[in-house]
Amino acid sequence: MMSSLATEKGWRKGPWTGEEDKLLSEYVSLHGEGRWSSVAELTGLNRSGKSCRLRWVNYLRPGLKKGQLTPLEEGIIIELHAIWGNKWSTIAKYLPGRTDNEIKNYWRTHFGKREKSKHKIERQKTKVLKQLKQKRQQELQQPQEYDIKSIMSHEQTKTETKSFETQNNEQLQMGFMYPTLEQQYTVPSMHEGFSSTWPNTLAGDDSWFSLWDFDEPQGFSAYVNHFSKCAMPNQATFGVGGDSMQNHDKTICFDDTYGYLF
DNA sequence: AAAGCTGACAACCGCAAGATC
DNA sequence: GGATCTTGCGGTTGTCAGCTT
């Protein structure tokens, strides 16, 4: 097994060097992700496959965001943790560029310490969510941040959204329905578990953001894009499911009462 | 200035599930 | 069908920089 092998081989441990990173990156660019156990053999790296995988996933993989989590991301983590608990990898799927390890570390640092009282933790969560709400209010007071094209696009889609809301009011009360018939997946936990606080502030640097994943039993994907240019801070265009993104643009509204209305 | 504390982050470990032989 | 291997996940620990006393 791996552990006994590791002992036999005497794998190197501890911080990775630049040279090791380079070797690993070269391996992945040549062979792709996976087959981690053969990395040592093919590159000369004295690291276990497990260690290589971890280094790649958490540090070297392209597209990873570095630096502090944004208030938006913090809000998402709080909301998703309320639903899934310590399912870090699941939560990470909804935070593009962030790893489960990063999220786990964040949670542990801010909320996970046993010595922290429940009251303190709740206060901290409230603080994060409050910051999000304040940000939204600031954005509402600065409509000039949003370009006219987007406002027009918003007006165009407003009617569509409204009619959908009326037609599907019953379903919306139960959960979140996908706009097309064949894809009307209900996400029961979303309505109940998500406060609508965090998406209201999605006007940051993110050009897109995946909300829910269709492949997941818990929900579906709504690839929300153009956040920085959406007509109102609480609304954005979105496409659905992978490559069909461009073909299914709709407007998603983040509503204080119902959550997300399509 | 030095010691202690804390937060952030990287990395390791054990375990479990799935894949392969 | 069972043994072995590989991969992924969550928990935990180690390290270091910045802050406080």
Please write the tens of the pLDDT for every residue from A91-107.
Answer: 888 888 888 888 888 88
pLDDT of A65 > 60? The answer is: yes
- A107 CA from C11 C1′ (Å): 13
The contacts found for A232-238 with CB under 8 angstroms, 24 or more apart, are A232/A140, A232/A143, A232/A146, A232/A154, A233/A136, A233/A139, A233/A140, A233/A146, A233/A200, A233/A201, A233/A202, A233/A203, A234/A136, A234/A199, A234/A200, A235/A154, A236/A202, A237/A153, A237/A157, A238/A211
Please write the tens of the pLDDT for every residue from A24-37.
Answer: 998 888 888 888 88
- A186 CA from C20 C1′ (Å): 51
- A122 CA from B18 C1′ (Å): 38
pLDDT of A248 > 60? The answer is: no
Q: Which residues, in sequence order, are bridge partners of residue A210?
A: A223
- A124 CA from C20 C1′ (Å): 21
Q: Say which residue, A137 or A226, is predicted with more confidence.
A: A137
Residue A35 has a pLDDT of: 85
Residue A169 has a pLDDT of: 33
- A2 CA from C2 C1′ (Å): 19
- A89 CA from C7 C1′ (Å): 14
Among A1-10, A25-34, A45-54, A180-189, which stretch is predicted with the lowest mean pLDDT?
A180-189
A18 touches strand B (CB under 7 A): no
Nucleotide nearest to A103 (CA to C1'): B9
Please state the separation of Cα A66 from the chain's center in Å. Answer: 14
Residue A145 has a pLDDT of: 33
Protein contacts on strand C: list nucleotides below 7 Å from a Cβ: 4-13
C-alpha span between A125 and A144 (Å, rounded): 31
- A24 CA from B7 C1′ (Å): 30
Give the mean model confidence (pLDDT) for residues A39-64. Answer: 88
Residue A62 has a pLDDT of: 85
Q: Are the beta carbons of A64 and A99 closer than 8 angstroms?
A: yes
Rounded to the nearest integer, the mean pLDDT of chain A is: 57
Q: Are the beta carbons of A244 and A174 closer than 8 angstroms?
A: no
Q: How many C-beta atoms lie closer than 10 Å to residue A30's C-beta?
A: 9
Type of residue found at A242: G
Range of A139-143, A196-200, A240-244, A247-251 with top mean pLDDT: A139-143
Q: Are the beta carbons of A64 and A97 closer than 8 angstroms?
A: yes
DSSP structure class, residue A208: E
Domains of chain A listed by start with CATH number: 12-62 (1.10.10.60), 67-141 (1.10.10.60)
Please write the tens of the pLDDT for every residue from A187-240.
Answer: 323 333 333 333 333 333 333 333 433 333 333 333 333 232 232 333 333 333
Type of residue found at A118: K
Q: Which residues, in sequence order, are bridge partners of residue A105?
A: none
pLDDT of A86 > 50? The answer is: yes
Nucleotide nearest to A11 (CA to C1'): B12
Range of A9-13, A53-57, A257-261 with top mean pLDDT: A53-57
Residue A226 has a pLDDT of: 29
Residue A199 has a pLDDT of: 39
- A228 CA from B15 C1′ (Å): 43
- Name residues 42-71 of chain A with a Cβ under 7 Å from nucleic strand C: 49-50, 53-54
Protein contacts on strand B: list nucleotides below 7 Å from a Cβ: 7-15
A16 touches strand B (CB under 7 A): yes
Please write the tens of the pLDDT for every residue from A158-182.
Answer: 333 333 333 333 232 222 322 222 2
pLDDT class of A43 with cuts at 50, 70, 90: confident
> Closest Cα to residue A260, out of A179, A181, A156, A139?
A179
Nucleotide nearest to A104 (CA to C1'): C10
